[in-house]
Amino acid sequence: MEEFSSLYAALDLVESGYEIYPLSANTKTPPKGHHGYLEATRDRDTIMDWFQSNPDYNLGLRLDTSRLLVVDVDIHESAKNGKDSLMKLQRQGKILPSDTYIENTAGGGLHYFFKYVGAKTRKVDNWPGIDLFNDFTVIAPSEINGKPYTPLDGRTLADVKLAPQWLVDELAGQKVNGASEHAYTTRLKKYTGRLIDELVSGTSSGNRNVWLTKVTGQLFASGADPENVYRLVQMVNDNFVDYPLPENEVTKIYNSILKKEVKRIGRSTVGN
């Protein structure tokens, strides 16, 4: 990868309104001390600082704030060849538009980019060798083991097309892997299932404290051991809150709810 090529690409992307973040050289993972797509930005000064100090960084693109969806077609395993799955979908009349923005990946696969407005999702092997995600992705000119991500036919993100309706329906849960996800959730989802869904859905920076206070109370209400509640709250904050709260804030929220639970249980015991 040419020196500063990630920086130049990053500046072009933010000029077009996209949010980017750094990845360690030759990898898909954030550098130590960074928080991946949760710290994606359009601030040019921040980006200059990242990539001028580390010109060999790879480049990540935040998808959800850009209203983008990626269909990742892998060919890593013969038993899960994404191109074979594409052919099967085509025979069912489910065709991915070939005139959208597409990248060749470092692993020899393809990333199809589409415009998409929907809930944040990451479905691995939705079909054999095909992943669907709209949270984040590595993007050109990143390299893995000397093999670059490259736009197909010189295309840019200005060429992105709308996601086809059959794919939107798939992500909406009308039909996933040949089974009705809606029927499954209607039949089986109970309190714990709804709680897990809410935890994984996460929240944005606007209401982090209020949301984390609520889910901490819900975790206590599930009957979980207090120590496990604290571990889960930390994990949820680190992984599902956009711009995670500082650890002391998480501890403060936990201790506040814990005190209320201790008082509540004490009153209940006296009442019995």
Q: What is the pLDDT of residue 176?
A: 39
Q: Which amino acid is at 67?
A: R
Instruction: Determine the 3-state secondary structure of 193 from DSSP.
Output: helix
Mean pLDDT of the chain: 86
Radius of gyration of the chain, Cα coordinates, nearest whole angstrom: 22
69-95, pLDDT tens digit by residue?
999 999 876 677 899 999 999 999 999
Half-sphere exposure of 96 (CA within 13 A, CB side): 26
How far, in Å, CA of 105 to CA of 115, rounded? 19
Closest CA to 7 of 50, 40, 61, 41: 50
Question: What is the reported pTM?
Answer: 0.64
Residue 32 DSSP label = T
CA distance 189 to 195: 10
Residues 195-206: pLDDT tens digits? Answer: 787 777 777 656
Q: Is the dihedral of CA 69, 244, 18, 142 positive or negative?
A: negative
Q: How far is CA 29 from the centre of its chain?
A: 13
Q: Please tell me the predicted confidence (pLDDT) of residue 203.
A: 73
pLDDT of the residue at 185: 44
pLDDT tens per residue across span 134-168: 999 999 999 999 999 999 998 999 999 999 999 99
Tokens of 33: 């001390």
Enumerate the domain spans of the chain. 5-171, 189-266
Return the structure tokens found at 196.
Answer: 């897990």
For 224-259, the pLDDT digits (tens) are 888 888 988 888 888 778 778 888 889 999 999 898
* First-residue to last-residue Cα distance in the chain: 71
Tokens for 142?
A: 């990143």
| DSSP letter string, 92-121 | TT----TTS-EEE-TTS-EEEEEE--S---
